Every structure is written in C-alpha cells, then in structure tokens.
Amino acid sequence: MKVLCFGVGQAGGNVLDALLRYEQRTNADYVVDAVAYNTASADLRGLDLVPEENRILFGADEVSGHGVGADNELAAELAERDSRQLLRGTDGAPTSTADAFLIFAGLGGGTGSGAAPVLAKHLNRIYEQPIYGVGILPAADEGALYSRNAARSLKAFVDVTDHVFAFDNGAWAESGEDVAQAHESMNEELVRRLGILFASGEVGESGSVGESVVDSSEVINTLRGGGISTIGYAASELPESDGGGFSISGLLGGGSSSSDELDSINRITTQTRKAVLGRLTLPCDVDSASRGLVVVSGPPEWLNRKAIERSRTWVEEQTGSMEVRGGDYPLPESNHVGVLVLLGDVSRSDRVAEVRSTGVEAERDRRQRDADADASEDKTEAVVDDRLDSLF
C-alpha cells in the first residue's frame, strides 16, 4: 500500500524520519513522498531523511521560526492562515500514486497538535484518498497542559481524518531511559508496525505471490468508518535448518510433515495471542474494537493457512467483531514468523479516558485563572466534552 506521508511538529517529523529509515533498512518501497512541517526552524534542520526541499516552515511571520511553545490554538491559527503554504508540500509529490495519505503528529505539544488536524482538513478538500492520522498521546508525567492539548487535538483529528492510529507514549516509556532514547525506541516500535502494515499491502498489489496475501483494500476496509485504532505485534525466531535457511521443509528429516504443520500452527496462534494480549500501541479494551486485521509474515513455507484462519477466528472471539480480516505477508528471507493485529475503531481505552479527564481538569483551571473567566464549571466541562462526546 503506497502512502504519502506528512510529519507535523517535532514528534511528527521524528516518526516520519524513523519510518523512512525503516523502509530503507527493509528494502521496501511504500512511501511515495515525505513532507515535514514545523513552526520551529531548528526542528526542521534536525531531520535526517525527509528531503530538504520538503521541509516547510509555517507561521514565520508571527513566530519567526521559534515555535509556538505548546500553544496548540496558536498553531492551528497559523496553519489556517498559511494553509496555501502547507498545501504546497504536495506540489512536487506523486499524489496520484498514493493509496492513502498519512499525517504524523504528537498531540500533546503545540505545533503538531494544533496544525495536524488543519492540514488533514485542507488535504481532504482536495484529494480523494483516505487520510489517516498517526497521533501520539503524551505520557501522564508530561503534565496537564499536554493532556489538555491531546484531548482536544485527538477529537479534532478523529473528526477530520478517515482514521487515527494511536500511539501512547505513557504505555511505552521504559524506566531508566532519557527522553531522547525513549522517543527513539518508541518510534522504532511504531514504525515497525506501520511498516509491516503498508509493506504487506504492497506485496498483494504486485501479484507476486499466493491468493491469501493482504492487499491495500483490506487495510483500507479495516479502517473504513473512522475512529481510533491500535496495533499489536509479536514475532518468534525460526530454527535454522541444515541448509542454512529457515525453511520448514529443512526440518522434514527429523519429523513428519504433520508435526511441522503443528509447529507452524502453534507458532502463529501463539504469536497472535501475544500480539493482542501484549503491549498495544494504545492500551484499550480489545472487545471494544469494531474491526480487525491479522497479518502473518514470514517465509512462505511457514505461512500455514489453517493457522492464519484459526488466528483470525480467535481475534473475532476476542473482539466480538464479525469483521476480522486475515492474510499473509511472505518474506522469503526472514528468520521470523511475525503476527500483526490491527484493531480498528476501538471505543474504550482507559488511557484515552485519563487524558480526557486530566484535560478537562486543566481546562477548568485555566479558565478559572483567566481574567475574563465568566465561564461556569458546567460550561467549562461542556467545552471539552463537546469535542470528545461521541468518543468515550
């Protein structure tokens, strides 16, 4: 599945850079072009793989390239004012070759949080393709302001995109890492999942392999209808065969083909359970998902049909959804069997609820401090609630 990618703000640019690096490392080709936006020129200079000519500074008349300092309302205003300039990012891009547009942003800060939904809205007016957000939620210890920004931005992002892939920094922070290290390893986890999802859709389109291969329409259909999604992933290393490869037929000397089949089935179903019950990009109640997609990757001889069907059925049981798709992603050179599970349109997540309630508190405090704070508590609650009402 070909994607045209946009990174807004620092987190947005970093994750976009990480996706480009992952794409290079895995010899894949699904990003048709990459554009980065910021109100801070230093952050644009710090990018690595986003082409120089695709780094767009906006709001420079007002903030002179110094950023908006976590003021997401200001960022949204500047993005609106400079919307033509933002759209110039697609000028040289081969837009018609993209199956979908992807907008990356950290939702807790200023620039990405405020400007990403504005960019989505303007792209949506012009292009036919689905527009997906990749929204990063702040960890609780980043403070109430970040939660408030994220609560507002998440709702706005969901409203103007065709789906938001959520990633929760709070769930992925490891103790002992400094912030930069932590972001780097989180970005790796996120782009591996997105990379597998997009690359799997690519194989199907080239028609190079079997009929159960995932194609881009399955990804798009899983995301259809909007909402927030979460992704789980788990992989198991394969035993090396005498021939030096990881082929299951290499094990034939030692056992019957039925025991090989059993090994393959066990591996795939176990990794499926680990993917769903382990750490998801956004922790949530799995049974609140509306749709699902199971992608099993690995050397073709390990991609057992029965196992993939069993995994798909198991995800149906866990989600209570009748709409779970399944398919494979053959990787002849790989020494792993991996299972990716995309859960679409999840409606219950304690982490989103927490961001929302901290956000409501912070908004209430802010208004009370405000000089013209004539807003009653009820009114304050309503402002934030309005934006999140339909979600949780």
Q: Which residues bind Mg ion (CB under 5 A)?
A: 10, 40
Alpha carbons 248 and 259: distance in angstroms, whole number: 10
Of residues 176 through 195, those in contact with ligand GTP by CB under 6 A are 183, 186-187
Strands 228-237, 163-168: pairing kind: parallel
Contact partner, 191, from ligand GTP, Mg ion, none, Cβ < 5-8 Å per class: none
Question: From the list 109, 135, 250, 359, which residue makes contact with ligand GTP (rule: CB under 6 A)?
Answer: 109
Q: Which is nearer to ligand GTP, 112 or 250 (CB)?
A: 112
For every residue of 269-296, DSSP letters joined together read HHHHHHHHHS--SS---GGG-SEEEEEE
Judged by beta carbon distances under 5 to 8 A according to partner kind, the member of ligand GTP, Mg ion, none in contact with residue 106 is: ligand GTP
Q: How far is the CB of 120 from ligand GTP (least distance, A)?
A: 15
Q: Round to whole Å and give the CA distance between 232 and 323.
A: 17
In the structure encoding, which two tokens stand for residue 148, read together?
A: 């408030």
CB 2 within 8 A of CB 8: no
In the structure encoding, which two tokens stand for residue 136, read together?
A: 């990063």
Binding status of residue 136 toward ligand GTP by CB under 6 A: yes
Instruction: Give the shortest CB-328-to-ligand GTP separation in angstroms.
Output: 29
Distance in Å, CB of 13 to Mg ion, minimum: 9
260 belongs to the binding site for ligand GTP (CB under 6 A): no
Q: Does 146 bind ligand GTP (CB under 6 A)?
A: yes
Q: Measured from the CB atom, is 7 or 330 closer to ligand GTP?
A: 7
d(CA 219, CA 366) in angstroms, rounded, equals 41
Single out the residue of 54, 129, 169, 264 in contact with ligand GTP (rule: CB under 6 A): 169
Nearest to ligand GTP of 229, 297 (CB atom) = 229
Are the C-beta atoms of residues 371 and 254 closer than 8 Å to each other? no
Residue 67 touching ligand GTP (CB under 6 A): yes
Contact yes or no for 57/39 (Cβ under 8 A): yes
Q: Which does 332 bind (CB under 5 to 8 A by kind): ligand GTP, Mg ion, none?
A: none
In this structure, are residues 359 and 150 in contact, taking their beta carbons and an 8 Å threshold?
yes
Residue 387 to residue 392: CA distance in whole angstroms: 11
Q: Which does 136 bind (CB under 5 to 8 A by kind): Mg ion, ligand GTP, none?
A: ligand GTP
- In the complex, which residue's CB is closest to ligand GTP? 9
Q: Which is nearer to ligand GTP, 148 or 183 (CB)?
A: 183
Element (H, E) at 3: strand 3-8
10 binds ligand GTP (CB under 6 A): yes
Matching residue, tokens 């290499």: 250
Residue 138 or 204 having the CB closest to ligand GTP: 138
Q: Identify the CA nearest to 7 among candidates 74, 69, 53, 54.
A: 54
CA dihedral 22, 28, 32, 37 (to 10 degrees): 0
Q: Which residue in 54, 90, 111, 216 binds ligand GTP (CB under 6 A)? A: 111
Distance in angstroms (rounded) separating the CA atoms of residues 319 and 316: 5
Token output for 171:
């769930």
**Does residue 117 bind ligand GTP (CB under 6 A)?**
no
**Cα 280 from Cα 172, distance rounded (Å):** 9
Q: What is the CA radius of gyration of the chain?
A: 22
CB of 111 to Mg ion, least distance (A): 5
Q: Does 69 bind ligand GTP (CB under 6 A)?
A: yes
Q: How far is the CB of 143 from Mg ion (least distance, A)?
A: 15
70 sits near ligand GTP (criterion: CB under 6 A): yes
Q: What minimum distance in Å lies between the beta carbon of 9 and Mg ion?
A: 5
- Closer residue to Mg ion in complex, CB, 40/98: 40
Q: 337 pairs with which residues across the strands? A: 236
Of 158 and 248, CB closest to ligand GTP: 158
Chain residues in the site for ligand GTP (CB under 6 A): 9-11, 14-15, 39, 67-70, 106, 108-113, 136, 138, 142, 146, 169, 183, 186-187
